[in-house]
Amino acid sequence: MAGALQETSRLLKEHLRLAGLPDDGQLWAVAQSPLGGRGLVASRDIAPGELVFYDVPLVLGPRAGAHCPPVCAGCLQGFEALLPCSRGCGLPVCSSQCESVPLHRFECQKLSSWGVRTNGSWSRELLRASTPVRCLALSPTKRQVLQCLQRHGGSQHAFEVDILKQKTEKGPSTEEEAFMRLACCVMDANAFETAQIPLVKAVRTEEGTTPSLRGLYPLASMMNHACTPNTRHGYDERQRMAVRAAMHIPAGTEITNSYTSLLWGTTARRYQLAVTKHFLCACSRCSDPQEGGSRLAALRCLTPSCQGSMFPTEPLDDESMWECELCGCQATGRKAAITQDVTTQKLELKERLCREVLQLLETLRAGQCRLRGLLLYELHCVLMELRARRGRDSSDATVQDLGREALACVQEAAEILAGDITAPVDIELRLSTCRRDVTTA
């Protein structure tokens, strides 16, 4: 086992070296994980906000989902109108320049040599299946990196290869097919959905969603899942991923990442993880009926006169009974969930919602997570609006307080979201405007 960990570590460092990323002062080590299998541990104390590592994609390409908006095979942007590549590969491009970008050249030649059956047009199916073709371009070392990653088995993975065989005359060789199937299983287990590069010419497509890509980030994929992770990650315009500490990470602690939503209740999180990642999470948050005191999954008690909330008695068991904390009445999870009256839910003001969710994140000890950054930004916007409506009379104490809090919010938000291309576009502008307004008021 120690030998295998060393070999994995060597391959990951080689991957970073090939990408030109320095590994001096390395903050992570590959180690046996108490969460199961391998993981990354902190090799020294890491401060909140500190960069743990950068990673670059070994492979980057279109996502395989049937409803993923199409992208240009050259620049990977979404466009209203895409044209078939004139070299006859059956993939869409946005312009003739994009036909000859290196990212597309390899798959273009490969697909053409297999003889695509698309009658001169481009195929959405072929585009969905194109990322594994890109994996065939990997050098022997990069193939080794891919092969050292964990993978999912089962025939539902690698359906992309079946599409490729249906859509081409000759199809891949036996050896190519085997490697692409393996690559699909590795990507299904490890790929990240990356942010799309926000260009002015890129548009929202008919589905109303912005195109996104899948990227295989070998080092980042070593992080195990925790429902309250100690890192956050973001992408820059070159699709490089930065992983930062969301809280203090003591030396020797496992470095974790969440594969699901921080604000979903345990049942929803565990279900999603089971379906998409094939494991049943048993982290400390999942094992606690009240999720660290956040009471996120609480359901109102079914007894009409009772003001209590119901929680699962065995949170790690899907069939668990739910029990009221006050009157002790019990019901199945299904019964408790369907009797909740959703029509009486009142609308919350944006400010209150922001504060509540921020409070919740604190209770979850989520640290300086990305969501905190986004919420602080939203709260800042609300406070500035309130301040504007009350007038800028600097002698009014509440107006002064609003301004001071708005500034503190946007300062921290900008700090958390620094270098993240998916951050609100006007955050820096708001920071400088607010700083000037509040300090001169």
Give the residues lining the site for Zn ion (CB under 5 A). Answer: 72, 74-75, 85, 87, 89, 94, 98, 108, 227, 281, 283, 286, 301, 303, 306, 308, 324, 326-327
Q: How far is residue 338 from each of residues 299, 354, 439, measured CA to CA in Å?
A: 10, 27, 52
State the nearest-atom distance from the C-beta of 51 to Zn ion, in Å.
26
Toward Zn ion, which CB reaches closer, 185 or 202?
Answer: 202
The b/e string for 189-211 (b: 16+ C-beta within 10 A; e otherwise) is bbbbebbbbeeeebeebeeeeeb
Q: How far is the CB of 307 from Zn ion (least distance, A)?
A: 8
Question: Which is nearer to Zn ion, 94 or 158 (by Cβ)?
Answer: 94
In the bound state with Zn ion, the residue whose beta carbon lies nearer, of 85 and 336, is: 85
Identify which of residues 301 and 423 has a Cβ nearer to Zn ion in the complex: 301
* Burial readout 225-245 (b: 16 or more C-beta within 10 A, e: otherwise): bbbbbbbbbbbeeebbbbbbb
Nearer to Zn ion, 29 or 101 (CB): 101
Least separation, in Å, of the C-beta of 259 and Zn ion? 10
Neighbours of 112 (CB within 10 A): 15
171: DSSP letter? -
**Among residues 21 and 306, whose Cβ is nearest to Zn ion?**
306
Q: Least distance to Zn ion from the beta carbon of 355, Å?
A: 26
Residue whose CB is less far from Zn ion, 159 or 279: 279
Alpha helix stretches (DSSP H) within 258-332: 266-277, 284-287
What token pair was written down for 411? Answer: 């300062």
Nearest approach, Cβ of 197 to Zn ion (angstroms)? 11
Amino acid letter, 181: R
Q: How far is the CB of 94 from Zn ion (least distance, A)?
A: 3
Shorter beta-carbon distance to Zn ion: residue 85 or 414: 85
**Is residue 28 within 8 Å of 42, Cβ to Cβ?**
yes
**Minimum distance, C-beta of residue 85 to Zn ion, in the bound complex (Å):** 3
Alpha-carbon Rg for the chain in angstroms = 25
154: left (phi > 0), else alpha (psi -120 to 50), else beta? left
CB contact at 8 A, 310 and 301: yes
- Identify residue 391 by its one-letter amino acid code: G
How far is CA 398 from each of CA 27, 402, 405, rounded to the nearest angstrom?
A: 45, 6, 10
Min dist. Cβ of residue 88 to Zn ion (A) = 7
